[in-house]
A and B are shown apart, each in its own frame.
Chain A
């Protein structure tokens, strides 16, 4: 395992540089497209929405697709429990995100882009629209042809999944599609589409500003750059904090815990629960435990049964119901742990539930059903007694 990086605070995402004149974009559209793509590839930037796909490759694939109808979509659905870092970007430095989207549109050859904003963030619309109006004015002055539109979600977590998001944007039920084809080949209206997270676009813009060399000074070999963490739960420092990737979880807990941290849920309900005994051996980053940035801390007063129950209720409600392993599996896991708690089922029933969650991982159609096993097995296996008594 890579040596720990310690805990390093950074301040580039919210740092001063947010130009309402879109100077980075102005500079970028005078550069060769291939050169920008190569920069993003060399930077090692990986998607900040959770899955961590290399951003430069995604842009390269989309750029290589034939045709001139292509789309850029910014995924601002931010529905993962315990995640709120995109909220801060959208409220404080939307120019950086918009600039990143515009640079992406330039390199792949799109003239239309969208921000898919979760319905819960409707209150941001007036300010965002004002910034978009400003952007369009600046773009016109640069003779740069791009229109960016806002589209709203309506309270469905699964619409954060990129193909469900596209279905939703097309005016349909937000049910995930089979992949492949991936959106870079067949996305919005069946055309090549880049879907990236809010923070990913900010990072791409940052790379165009500070250059690859500066960017790769942050983070580790496998996890370049900084990351916004949404920190909540039993912590005196709840909020959004920008840290370098590649830190040890024990360093993180030393900084953000309340001296009584029992477990940290890394990556939201879809992520993993790390118990105290593993804080020291867990690295936060793509070489260890990747995350979209949600870190929920639990101290010893918390019941992990209660935590798991809450997550399962969430999945059960948010499952789109399209495929059986996920629809039935979420229900059965929830009913199952309740039955064990009421002692209507023996403790050994947990093993059956663990097997069920493994099946869901393999047989579910999208990341929602596939990731239920993450929190389920990591909580059940580490806190068996709490599940039973």
Chain B
């Protein structure tokens, strides 16, 4: 935690200290830390000469800027109408079953967080989901088993991306 100050400073050096640099900084913190902690937000506020309330108020507007701890891998399953029509429920059930958590929860080992989200831009290839930034489409319960196993095995998975 005491690393947070030099880290935030390095981000401010990289992106700048103008107000318009706030989102890129917050986005990078979430990408690397998997959470936007209060400490981090206070440091960002100092660096950019804003009030902490202003930083928190901005962050809380954006659903991807999570202020509660998330797992290393954030799974976001699309819940928009086409996904529902094409079997989103079976996908979520399978994920809950394998990860032994419910939607909105994080596995006790801190690796996976399971969320539902609105349309992610793959309605032609439903059911679909993102794991961190990576899209997975044409999902089936069987594919879910493989994909999650891939992440569990080596913490990384490059073999299942479904972009054609």
Contact = CB atoms under 8 A, between A and B. Distances in A.
Contacts of B123: 81-84, 230, 232-233, 238, 296
A238 B123 CA distance: 8
Contacts of B20: 169-171
Contacts of A317: 118
B131 to A, nearest CB: 10
B28 to A, nearest CB: 10
B41 interface: no
A239 B124 contact: yes
A318 interface: yes
A238 B90 CA distance: 21
Contact of A82 (B57, B65, B119, B163): B119
Contact of B62 (A174, A230, A269): A174
Contacts of A174: 61-62
B43 interface: no
Interface stretch (B81-89, B104-112, B141-149): B81-89
Nearest to B133: A122
A253 interface: no
A321 to B, nearest CB: 9
B63 A314 contact: no
Interface residues of B, number: 37
B68 interface: no
Contacts of B79: 310
Contacts of B135: 120, 123
Contact of B19 (A118, A172, A230, A269): A172
Given A82-B80, A240-B124, A310-B84, A155 B117 contact: yes
Given A171-B23, A296-B81, A118 B62 contact: no
Nearest to B84: A310
Contact of A154 (B62, B82, B118): B62
B160 interface: no
A87 B121 contact: yes
B27 interface: yes
B25 to A, nearest CB: 9
Nearest to A317: B118
A180 to B, nearest CB: 23
A215 interface: no
Nearest to B25: A171
A84 B81 contact: no
B65 A154 contact: yes
A231 interface: yes
Interface string B5-41: 0000000000000111111101100000000000000
Contacts of B82: 81-82, 232-233, 296
Given A83-B121, A296-B82, A314-B118, A154 B23 contact: yes
A84 B63 contact: no
A156 B19 contact: no
B125 interface: yes
Contacts of B152: none
A93 B84 CA distance: 31
Interface in B91-138: 117-126, 130, 133-135
B23 A168 contact: yes
A154 B80 contact: no
26 contacts: A81-B80, A81-B82, A81-B123, A82-B80, A82-B81, A82-B82, A83-B119, A83-B121, A120-B120, A121-B121, A122-B133, A154-B27, A155-B64, A156-B61, A168-B23, A170-B19, A171-B19, A171-B23, A171-B58, A173-B58, A230-B123, A233-B82, A233-B123, A238-B123, A307-B81, A310-B80
Given A83-B119, A154-B27, A173-B58, 4 more contacts: A82-B82, A82-B119, A174-B62, A232-B82
